[in-house]
Amino acid sequence: MWSACVERLSQELPVQQVNTWIRPLVARVADDGSRVTLAVANRFKMDWVRAQYVGKIGAALQAIAGQPVAVELVLAPREAPSAPRPSTPGVAGGAVPRVAVAPARTDPVFAELPEAPAAAEPPLPDHKHRLNPALTFATLVEGSANRMARAAAMHVAASPGQLYNPLFIYGGVGLGKTHLVHAIGNQLLADRPDAKVLYIHAEQFVSDVVKSYQRKTFDAFKQRYHSLDLLLIDDVQFFANKDRTQEEFFNAFEALLAKKSHIVMTSDTYPKGLTDIHERLVSRFDSGLTVAIEPPELEMRVAILISKAQAEGATMPEDVAFFVAKNVRSNVRELEGALRKILAYSRFNQKEVSIALAREALKDLLSIQNRQISVENIQKTVADFYKIKVADMYSKKRPANIARPRQIAMYLAKELTQKSLPEIGELFGGRDHTTVLHAVRKIAAERQNQPELNQQLHVLEQTLKG
Ligand SMILES: Nc1ncnc2c1ncn2[C@@H]1O[C@H](COP(=O)(O)OP(=O)(O)OP(=O)(O)O)[C@@H](O)[C@H]1O
C-alpha cells in the first residue's frame, strides 16, 4: 500500500521532492489499512513533512485504499550516542571522554546537504524569529530533571550576553530542549520586543549555508546572523561532517560573542560527546555553561500530563495520570502522544477519562511495551513499589524489607521475560541460578495463600504489562 502511495506521489511531485521527503519515510500500515504510521528521522523533517506532504499522502492513500486513511507521523529517534552520558544531571565535567568517531565520510563541501530540497524548502530566516509562542516557561513543567537547565535558561532570558554564554543544553529525544530554547526567546521578546532573536534548527542552518554559497549571498547571510542579540540553535549534532557549515557557524559564534550577544545551543549529547565536529568548535560549545535535561521522573510525568490535559480544557484524574505516567516512561513527546490518544478516545466515545478508558485508548502502545518488558524495568518498578533503591536489587544486603522485594522481582522476571534462571541471577548482582529458583518457587507458593501478596503482584503485573 505504501509503495503504491509513493508511486502515485511520484506522478504528482518533482522527483527530487519524492526522493528527499517521501521515500525516506518508513511506513507501517495498520492491519485493516485504516491507518498509516510514518517514521521520520527528526523533528525538523517531521514538521516539514506534516506541513507540506501529509495532506497529499492522505489523499493518495485514500485513493488506493478506497477508504479514508489516517496518517500519523512518529519520530524514529536516531541511535543514542555510543558513550554513556554523565549520570548526574547538571553541569557537565570537563574531562568526559570523546565517543568513538563515526567512520569518516569524504566531505566535498556541498555534499553537505544531500537532501537539500529543490522546490519546496523552508523560507530563509530573515526578519522572523521563528519562535513558537506556545513554548514558554509558563507551559514548561519544572522537575528535578530540568531544574538546572530551566534556571540557567531563565537567567539567560533575563540578562542575555552576560553569564552562561554560550548555554549548551543537552539531553535525549523529546525531553524539552526545544521547548526550553523557545521559552528563552519568547521571554526575551516579551521583555524587549525590539531584540533580534532567531531560533533555527541546525539542519536549517546547514541549508542556509548551502543556499548562500549557491547564490553567492554570504554577505547577507553574515549580516543576518552576526547582527542577532540572541541565537537559539537546536540539535547542533547535525553539524557533524559539515565542514563549511562548521566554519560559518564558528564565524557567527565568534562575532556574536564579541558583541555580547547570547548563543544557546541544544544537542543530544554533551559537547565532548559530539562526533565529527571540529575540536575548536567543541571547546567553544563547552566554554560557557553546559547543562543536562534528564528524563522526567514519575511525579514530573504525572504533573506534565495533568497540566497538558488542563491546557486542552480536559481533566485528567490523578489515578489515570499515574497509570499513564507509569506506562509511558520514555519521554515527554510520547507522553503527549498518549494524552492526545486518551482525550480523543474519550471525546469520540463520550466517556469520562478513566484507567479503563486509558488502557483501551493506549492498547497498541501498551502491547508493544508488553512485549518489551525487561528485567531492568521490573527491578525499577518493584523497587518503586516497595520504596527501596534500585541498587538494592543487585546488592548483597539481606534485611527482609529488601530481600523480599528482590525475590518478587526475580519471580516477575521469570514470569514476564524470556530470560533463563542464570541470566536473571546475573542481572541481580551476579547471583546463582539456584537463588533465583528458590525465590521463584517461594513467591509462587506464597502467592497461593497470601491474598495481600497476590494483590500486590497483580498490581505490579498490570503496571508492567500495561
Ligand atoms: N517539562 C515539560 N513541561 C511541559 N512540556 C514539556 C516538557 N518537556 C517537554 N515538553 C513537551 O514535550 C514535547 C517534546 O519536547 P521538545 O520538542 O522540546 O523536545 P526535544 O528535547 O527538543 O526533542 P528532540 O531532541 O527530538 O528535538 C514538546 O511538545 C514540549 O512542549
The ipTM (two decimal places) reads 0.98
Architecture of the CATH domain 375-465: Orthogonal Bundle (1.10)
pLDDT tens digit sequence for 115-131: 444 334 444 444 478 89
Task: Please tell me the distance from the alpha carbon of residue 400 to that of residue 404, in angstroms, as a whole number.
Answer: 6
Most confident of 41-45, 344-348, 451-455: 344-348
- Which of 234, 302, 304, 332 to mutate to test ligand 1, by most ligand atoms within 8 A of the CB atom? 332
In angstroms, what is the span from residue 332 Cα to ligand 1's centroid? 6
> Of 110-114, 228-232, 243-247, which gets the smallest average pLDDT?
110-114
Q: Which atom of ligand 1 is nearest to the CA of 175?
A: 21
CATH 3.40.50.300 residue ranges for the chain: 125-293
Q: Kindly indicate the confidence band of residue 369, based on its pLDDT and cuts at 50, 70 and 90.
A: low
Q: Kindly indicate the confidence band of residue 74, based on its pLDDT and cuts at 50, 70 and 90.
A: confident
Q: Which atom of ligand 1 is nearest to the CA of 335?
A: 12
CATH topology of domain 2-75: GMP Synthetase; Chain A, domain 3 (3.30.300)
In angstroms, what is the span from residue 62 Cα to ligand 1's centroid? 32
Residue 369 gets the label, from left (phi > 0), alpha (psi -120 to 50) or beta, of: alpha
What is the four-CA torsion angle of 332, 333, 337, 339, rounded to 10 degrees?
30
Q: Which three cell numbers stand for residue 178?
A: 526545544
CATH 1.10.1750.10 residue ranges for the chain: 375-465
Question: Atom 8, ligand 1: which residue's CA is nearest?
Answer: 176
CATH 1.10.8.60 residue ranges for the chain: 298-371
Q: Kindly indicate the confidence band of residue 366, based on its pLDDT and cuts at 50, 70 and 90.
A: confident
Contacts of 209 (CB under 8 A, 6+ apart): 112, 221, 242, 244, 245, 248
pLDDT tens digit sequence for 280-299: 999 999 999 999 998 898 99
- Which of 132, 333, 339 to mutate to test ligand 1, by most ligand atoms within 8 A of the CB atom? 333
pLDDT of residue 462: 75
In angstroms, what is the span from residue 140 Cα to ligand 1's centroid? 9
Question: Atom 15, ligand 1: which residue's CA is nearest?
Answer: 176
Helices 433-449 and 400-416, interaxial angle, to 10°? 90
In angstroms, what is the span from residue 88 Cα to ligand 1's centroid? 20
In angstroms, what is the span from residue 442 Cα to ligand 1's centroid? 44
Question: If you average pLDDT over every residue of the chain, what do you get?
Answer: 85
pLDDT tens digit sequence for 164-205: 999 999 988 889 999 999 999 999 999 999 999 999 999 999
Q: Which atom of ligand 1 is nearest to the CA of 182?
A: 18
Task: Identify the residue whose cell numbers are 544537542.
Answer: 267
Residues in contact with ligand 1 (CB, 6 Å cut-off):
43, 135, 139-141, 146, 171, 173-179, 235, 268, 304, 332-333, 336
Q: Which atom of ligand 1 is nearest to the CA of 266?
A: 22
Is 133's pLDDT higher than 60? Answer: yes
CATH 3.30.300.180 residue ranges for the chain: 2-75
Architecture of the CATH domain 125-293: 3-Layer(aba) Sandwich (3.40)
Which one is predicted more confidently, 93 or 250?
A: 250
CATH topology of domain 298-371: Helicase, Ruva Protein; domain 3 (1.10.8)
Contacts of 415 (CB under 8 A, 6+ apart): 461
Asked if 309 and 316 touch (Cβ cutoff 8 Å), the reply is: yes
Mean pLDDT of 74-101: 41
In angstroms, what is the span from residue 43 Cα to ligand 1's centroid? 11
Task: Please tell me the distance from the alpha carbon of residue 27 to that of residue 36, in angstroms, as a whole number.
Answer: 7
Q: Which atom of ligand 1 is nearest to the CA of 173?
A: 25
Is 107's pLDDT higher than 80? Answer: no
- The percentage of the chain sitting over the pLDDT mark of 90, rounded to a whole number, equals 58
Q: Kindly indicate the confidence band of residue 465, based on its pLDDT and cuts at 50, 70 and 90.
A: confident
Closest CA to 278 of 108, 101, 78, 79: 101
